[in-house]
Structure 1
Amino acid sequence: MKNHEIITLTVNPALDKSAHFTGLVPEQKIRCQQPSFDAGGGGINVSKAISRLGGDSLAVFTAGGPTGEMIKELLVKESVAIDPIAVQNWTRESFVAVDDNTNSQYRFGFPGAVISEEEIDTILKKAAAFSSHFLVLSGSLNEGLPLDFYKQIAVLAKKSGTKVIADTSGASLEKVLETGVYLIKPNVGELAKLVGEASLEMEEVNEAAKKIIAKGGAEIVVVSLGPQGAVLVTKDSYDYVPAPNVVKKSTVGAGDSMVGGMVWALSQNKNLSEVIRWGVACGSAATMNDGTQLFKVEDAKRLFEWLKGK
């Protein structure tokens, strides 16, 4: 198998379905327009983002049933290299619906089906054989997976010198920090929980991120500030990048697009100032599109040029 600079792992992917409707009325049938489908889930979206930027990654993910087959077909159409792991239970779906009367977006997510012990063992064995410069662990965990599952994979990856990027949340992220990774991307609320605070003000973000770095949890902490932009923190630097003013249509996949832009920039040996700006550019560009379709590369490039002076 070809060696890839970047590998993404998605244990709980989703077939993303999106549609428009007119008027949300309780207890009445809501007639939707023809739906569109996208391959989704944290790491899968990261690989899609990298592909759009002209980068190279391998998307490793579980796939079961007709939904899993459709995800594989959609990724092949986008020229994303894939290495699916067959599982017995069907891959989950998610649904995004937009009310054209109000432009309100409704997002429905479902839990991932249980993965068997044999399938867990298959994932871990595959992870032990990964050979890449960067490994992205992104997205939620299926029901029944241990909370330290990403930590187990990070330990395996670090043995070969791979730089691990973890984009998950809650107890799963806390466990990953115990072994230490290269980069994490919490939002402000998640960062607050990681340092034992109920909330954080903007001026407290830098200190909170540096606490994680000082404990060896991560070398780089990128904190997503939503419409305010993002900050990148290392042990001796702090870089705030404002979000460009764009017309937002959907926030689905914006965080994954941000991670994809940053990992692609890292793989191109760009400095950290460019890395965070590519992340913000891709994340912001993703919000300009309907449904679950991530970003257009021309939008990301235009926004990056604007951010270079910020």
Structure 2
Amino acid sequence: MKKMNKRVLAICPNPSIDVFATVPQINLGKANRIQKLKEYPGGKGVHVALALAELSVPVSLMASWAGNAGAWIKRNCESVGIPTLGIDLKGNNRKCYTFLSQDTASNDTELLEPGPEMSENDLDNFIAVYKSIISEYDLVTLSGSWPIGAPRYSNKELILIAKSLNKKVIIDCSGHNLTQALEAKVFGIHLNADEAISLCHSNDPDKVFEHLQDKVDLIAFTKGKDGLYLSYRGRQVHAKVDIGDVKSAVGSGDCLTAGISLGIIHDFPLEEIAKWSVACGAANCLREELGMLHGADVKSLLNHVEVNSICYEK
């Protein structure tokens, strides 16, 4: 793939430190000793930025940074060549713990810290920074939740600003953040099965496409092992790849969003966008690192992705 000058702005309103904690089992009401601890830069937009940087796509990361945790996330992203932008908040960025246990009942138990709070004035500052830099980028990804207290219109405001400058935005979020984005007629959307049921009252791809076709240009609908259903420019395809043993699926959806972004800025045909998207999502599963992929894994998977055209009844 030839190098290009197009740039992506990955926005992560609420970054985190993702922690894998290994314990034999979790005994409620008693002391539990952690055997092994691993920490990774986290938050959906952080994962998107890390994946794009690994694939040599020029990307910057914009976020709300808070305390020592925020400084640690920034250092780790900057160490791989990702410029970091945004605003500072009081407090500390959150830590998200995933407990790995031999006990099936408690394995993959998660504990999520609340993180910092964001006022309307903080959002105004965030938007001011965004307005000052967005003209430098060709595509924006907007992923995940906002800090506690952020106004409900946050996503909609950023999308409308981008649209006024003819910039495409791809979102991956849920709840009111998602509905607000659709009201702004966002360019692209990435949904999982739970989000599809909440938004479209179905996880059937045909019904999802039918529900969203007049609201958004690009629809990426993922159903875990069933793969990716992708609709763009009046066509739909299904893509999947078999990878065998899954080390960790945390962040795979974000890596898939990175693959979509790569395909869009390169103006790839639909089948090629689907291949890169699925290869990126699957590559994340091959390693223990959370929300990270290796470019060599992506390239080795590309030729194994199966892509088939589909159609649905309108």
Q: SS where residue 250 of structure 1 aligns?
A: coil
Q: SS where residue 104 of structure 1 aligns?
A: coil
Cα distance in 2, alignment partners of residues 116 and 4 from structure 1? 33
Q: Residue in 2 aligned with 1:184? A: 189
Do 2:275 and 2:307's aligned partners in 1 also have CA atoms closer than 8 Å? no
Do 2:19 and 2:40's aligned partners in 1 also have CA atoms closer than 8 Å? yes
Q: Does residue 212 in structure 1 map to residue 212 in structure 2?
A: yes
How far did 1:116 drift? 2.4
- 1:149-194 per-position Cα deviation (integer Å, ceiling 9, x unaligned): 1011100111111001011111110111011111101113322332
Q: Residue in 2 aligned with 1:246? A: 244
Cα distance in 1, alignment partners of residues 244 and 32 from structure 2? 30
Do 2:89 and 2:117's aligned partners in 1 also have CA atoms closer than 8 Å? no
Do 2:241 and 2:304's aligned partners in 1 also have CA atoms closer than 8 Å? no
How far did 1:293 drift? 4.7
Q: Residue in 2 aligned with 1:76? A: 78
Cα distance in 2, alignment partners of residues 96 and 293 from structure 1? 13
Amino acid at match of 2:123: I
Indicate the larger mover: 285-294 or 181-190.
Answer: 285-294
Indicate the larger mover: 64-73 or 94-103.
Answer: 94-103
Do 2:230 and 2:274's aligned partners in 1 also have CA atoms closer than 8 Å? yes
Cα distance in 2, alignment partners of residues 208 and 229 from structure 1? 15
Amino acid at match of 1:165: I
Q: Does residue 116 in structure 1 map to residue 107 in structure 2?
A: no
Cα distance in 2, alignment partners of residues 97 and 148 from structure 1? 34
Q: Residue in 2 aligned with 1:261? A: 259
Do 2:260 and 2:277's aligned partners in 1 also have CA atoms closer than 8 Å? yes
How far did 1:101 drift? 6.1
Q: Residue in 1 aligned with 2:226? A: 228
How far did 1:230 drift? 0.9
Matches within 5 A, 1:105-184: 105-129=108-132, 130-131=134-135, 132-184=137-189
Do 1:206 and 1:238's aligned partners in 2 also have CA atoms closer than 8 Å? no
How far did 1:10 drift? 1.1
Indicate the larger mover: 288-297 or 162-171.
Answer: 288-297
Q: SS where residue 213 of structure 2 aligns?
A: helix
- 1:178-225 per-position Cα deviation (integer Å, ceiling 9, x unaligned): 111111011133223323x2x333xxx1243233122xx210101011
Q: Residue in 2 aligned with 1:292? A: 290
Cα distance in 2, alignment partners of residues 193 and 23 from structure 1? 33
Pair 309,128 (structure 1): closer, same or farther in 2 beyond 3 Å? closer
Do 2:260 and 2:276's aligned partners in 1 also have CA atoms closer than 8 Å? yes
Pair 190,309 (structure 1): closer, same or farther in 2 beyond 3 Å? closer
5+ residue gaps, structure 1: none
Q: Does residue 280 in structure 1 map to residue 278 in structure 2?
A: yes
Pair 180,219 (structure 1): closer, same or farther in 2 beyond 3 Å? same
How far did 1:58 drift? 0.6
Do 2:254 and 2:291's aligned partners in 1 also have CA atoms closer than 8 Å? no
Cα distance in 2, alignment partners of residues 24 and 163 from structure 1? 45
Do 2:263 and 2:272's aligned partners in 1 also have CA atoms closer than 8 Å? yes
For the aligned residue pairs, the C-alpha RMSD in angstroms reads 2.0
How far did 1:260 drift? 1.0
Partner residue of 1:10 out of 9, 12, 36: 12
Partner residue of 1:54 out of 35, 38, 56: 56
Do 2:91 and 2:116's aligned partners in 1 also have CA atoms closer than 8 Å? yes
Indicate the larger mover: 243-252 or 176-185.
Answer: 243-252
Cα distance in 1, alignment partners of residues 226 and 291 from structure 2? 22
- 1:250-299 per-position Cα deviation (integer Å, ceiling 9, x unaligned): 22111111101211222223222111221111111212222525222222
Q: Residue in 1 aligned with 2:301? A: 303
Cα distance in 2, alignment partners of residues 307 and 20 from structure 1? 33
Partner residue of 2:23 out of 11, 21, 24: 21
How far did 1:234 drift? 2.9
- 1:112-163 per-position Cα deviation (integer Å, ceiling 9, x unaligned): 3211233111111122221211011101122211222101110011111100
Q: Residue in 1 aligned with 2:98? A: 96
Pair 210,128 (structure 1): closer, same or farther in 2 beyond 3 Å? farther
Q: What TM-score do you get using the length of structure 1 for normalisation?
A: 0.90
Do 1:210 and 1:233's aligned partners in 2 also have CA atoms closer than 8 Å? no
Amino acid at match of 2:114: P
Q: Name the count of aligned residue pairs.
A: 301
